[in-house]
């Protein structure tokens, strides 16, 4: 794997690749407030092994990418969409297969609508046809009561400069998003530690993505997606229950849904890696 810094306007994005650039490229687009470390190195290596060029990257305010003051992001949600194109440009790629999770899947949807020539296929995991939280859509079930309480809380969280407290808070913060697959707490802590140690301003990483404007789609626009689309969705997702994934697969022409048994709203846990890797490799073939 090799890492590089990619300029985009007055910012820089940190990206890393796995596999041969001669193979079909898959760009991994992560969830809000998460560095590329949550796409675990072993997972990326397994995805690259059958002959894929896998790229992961740090969003602005995460990892080694440009950081802004907490509470004052110098960018919008639309910039996060075009940042993905800047990463492709940084690798000299006219187009790629896109695999997005949660917010990253929303970014991938926007790219599929607005920049179809840059998108070879879409894999959309843990998302909805209505954006990250899907407000005002009575046909789709709401998030769990526990998550509704969490999102309405005004708790400022820990002192993000306190390394141990911050890492513990990041791990504990994953619990309301769990499905029924038992979490690997040691593995989660290792990833959170790596993110903390690589991130320029952890307070900004845990704040700024949640207050961005722009970057969303209207639900009706999904019918205009022409890229072959695979929808992966946990059967135990408490933020966007399975009917969100089912609706997304219905509204994108030709999309195929693969339910992942017991998975919550999370990066793929190790228990589903075999299924996810096989599905994504087949889809990007």
Reduced to 3 states (helix: H, G, I; strand: E, B; else coil), residue 235 is coil
Strands 256-260, 11-18: pairing kind: unpaired
Residues whose CB is less than 8 angstroms from the CB of residue 156 and which lie 6 or more positions away in sequence, other chains included: none
Residues 6+ apart with CB under 8 A from 275: 258, 260
Are residues 104 and 197 in contact, defined by beta-carbon separation less than 8 angstroms?
A: no
Of the candidates 37, 58, 61, 237, the residue annotated as catalytic is 237
CB 280 within 8 A of CB 272: no
Q: Is 265 a catalytic residue?
A: yes
Do residues 140 and 247 lie in contact, with contact meaning Cβ atoms separated by under 8 Å? yes
d(CA 145, CA 94): 43
Token pair belonging to 6: 């990619």
Supply 86's token pair: 């800047």
Does residue 244 have an active-site annotation?
no
Q: How far is CA 92 from the centre of its chain?
A: 22
Residue 50 near residue 281, CB atoms below 8 Å: yes
Contact call for residues 114 and 85 (beta carbons, < 8 A) = no
- Cα dihedral value 31, 28, 92, 281, nearest 10: -160
Cβ–Cβ contacts within 10 Å for residue 138, how many?
A: 6
Which entry of 97, 209, 233, 265 is annotated as an active-site residue?
265
237 is annotated as an active-site residue: yes
Which of 102, 121, 128, 205 is catalytic? The answer is 102
Shortest CA distance to 105 belongs to which of 86, 135, 80?
80
* Residues acting as catalytic residues: 102, 237, 265
């Amino acid at each position: 794997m090799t890492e590089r810094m990619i300029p985009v306007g007055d910012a820089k994005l940190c990206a890393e690749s796995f596999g041969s650039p001669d193979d079909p490229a898959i760009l991994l687009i992560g969830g809000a407030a998460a560095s590329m470390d949550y796409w675990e190195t072993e997972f990326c290596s397994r995805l690259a092994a059958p002959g894929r060029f896998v790229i992961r990257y740090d969003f602005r305010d995460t990892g080694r990418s440009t950081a802004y003051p907490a509470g004052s992001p110098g960018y919008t949600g639309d910039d996060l969409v075009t940042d993905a194109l800047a990463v492709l440009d940084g690798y000299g790629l006219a187009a790629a297969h896109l695999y997005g999770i949660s917010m990253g899947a929303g970014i991938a949807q926007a790219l599929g609508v607005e920049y179809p020539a840059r998108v070879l296929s879409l894999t959309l995991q843990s998302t909805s046809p209505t954006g990250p939280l899907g407000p005002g859509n009575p046909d789709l079930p709401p998030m769990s009561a526990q998550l509704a309480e969490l999102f309405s809380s005004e708790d400022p969280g820990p002192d993000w400069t306190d390394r141990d407290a911050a890492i513990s808070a990041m791990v504990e913060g994953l619990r309301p998003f769990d499905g029924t697959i038992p979490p690997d707490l040691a593995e989660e802590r290792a990833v959170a530690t790596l993110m903390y140690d690589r991130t320029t301003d952890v307070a900004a990483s845990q704040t700024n993505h949640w207050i961005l404007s722009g970057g969303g789609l209207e639900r009706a626009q999904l019918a205009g997606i022409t890229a072959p689309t695979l929808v992966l969705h946990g059967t135990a997702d408490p933020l966007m229950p399975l009917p969100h994934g089912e609706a997304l697969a219905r509204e994108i022409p030709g999309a195929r849904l693969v339910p992942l048994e017991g998975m919550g709203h999370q990066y793929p846990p190790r228990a589903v890696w075999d299924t996810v890797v096989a599905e994504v490799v087949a889809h990007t073939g």
